[in-house]
Amino acid sequence: MTVTDTLGRPVRDLRISVTDRCNFRCVYCMPKEVFGHEYRFLPRRELLTFEEIERVARVFVDLGVKKLRITGGEPLLRRDLELLVAQLSALGDDLDVTLTTNASLLVQKAKALADAGLSRITVSLDSLDDEVFRAMNDVDFPVARVLAGIDAAAEAGLPVKINVVVKRGLNEASVLDIARRFRGTGHAVRFIEFMDVGATNGWRLDDVVPAAEIVATIGAEFPLEPVEAAYRGEVAERYRYRDGAGEIGVIASVTQPFCGDCTRARISADGKLYTCLFAVRGHDLRALLRSGSADTLEETIRAVWTRRADRYSEIRTEETSALRKVEMSYIGG
Ligand code: SAM
């Protein structure tokens, strides 16, 4: 049974945050000044268990979800994550179960994740320049270990995507390096405009490198041509190298918002349902999970989605960017 919101959008993707903790302190996501020693992360008992996550995911699959993405925080910090992957993969034969990770633990985990049924993996990598990368993750993590994680995932048979957030003045120079490095490898790269998620990353419109500029930079060295969207709600605008060396994508959520096609729901690590990445409030499913029946859960999710009217990126201004929105590390990227 499918469900649509007030703008006629179905729910097709569920992003599940399994932890609000991360071992990186990326300056644009979890700045150290905010997420320092005193920061209070969620206590363990407040996190949804794997069984609770499975119950929620099952309802979403019944409502039409085709893709489950596990995220965080850093999802590989959650112990035995492959068990959750196996539980989620079992929810449907043609279900896409994916994971977004910083790859710091991927060398150890790639095979177990692939064996558990993970469909593919997205690795975040903002620079190949070791100095720039260490400064961006702000915990001095070497880029070589992320590259080893990518290789381990590919060896385990997982299709790999690379996510690159581009921030003006920080890693613009890395755009071409990354395009050069991954051309011809089969790993699709997605360049993402720096967004005003949360309220702590000091976002300014001037920090955004427009997707059109990224495409022009890469296209000047390696001619590109646009690729038709594969399905409604695809977030990346895709381009292929004219010489056949693969493709890149850009996610222009600031300069060309795509709310009209947004089919994503998000569950925070403590079980709140958010219908927009830029939401201020979520709907508490954990209370229901711990007290109510499966029927109540489905009715509630259906009711929340039916009322959904979010289109934040289409109405974004410098003023809305200052709202007290939830943090990306909590809601899940
Ligand atoms: N820890 C995992 C990782 O590094 O991929 C998963 C969570 S992380 C929040 C998910 C993605 O969100 C990463 O690719 C990250 O670069 C991206 N991200 C975080 N803050 C962002 C922002 N302000 N604008 C755009 N992307 C952002």
pLDDT tens digits, 54-95: 999 999 999 999 999 999 999 999 999 999 999 999 999 999
Q: What is the total residue count of the chain?
A: 333
Alpha-carbon gap, residue 151 to 136, rounded angstroms: 22
pLDDT level of residue 295 (50, 70, 90 thresholds)? confident
What is the pLDDT, as a whole number, of residue 328? 82
Q: Which residues line ligand 1 (CB under 6 A)?
A: 22, 28-29, 71-72, 74, 100-102, 124, 163, 165, 192, 194-195, 197, 201, 328-329, 333
> Where in 167-316 does DSSP place strands (E)?
188-193, 224-227, 237-241, 247-251, 264-267, 272-274, 283-284
Strand bridging mode 264-267 / 272-274: antiparallel
Q: Record the pTM.
A: 0.95
Average pLDDT over the chain reads: 93
b/e map 239-263, b = 16+ CB within 10 Å: bebeeeebbbbbbbbbeebbbebbb
Dihedral sign, CA of 248, 249, 250, 251? negative
How many CB atoms lie under 10 A from the CB of residue 235?
18
Instruction: Determine which residue's CA is closest to atom 12 belonging to ligand 1.
Output: 333
pLDDT level of residue 197 (50, 70, 90 thresholds)? confident
Q: How far is the CA of 110 from the centre of ligand 1 (A)?
A: 20
Best mutation site among 328, 329, 331 for ligand 1, i.e. most ligand atoms within 8 A of its Cβ?
328
pLDDT tens digits, 112-153: 999 999 999 999 999 999 999 999 999 999 999 999 999 999
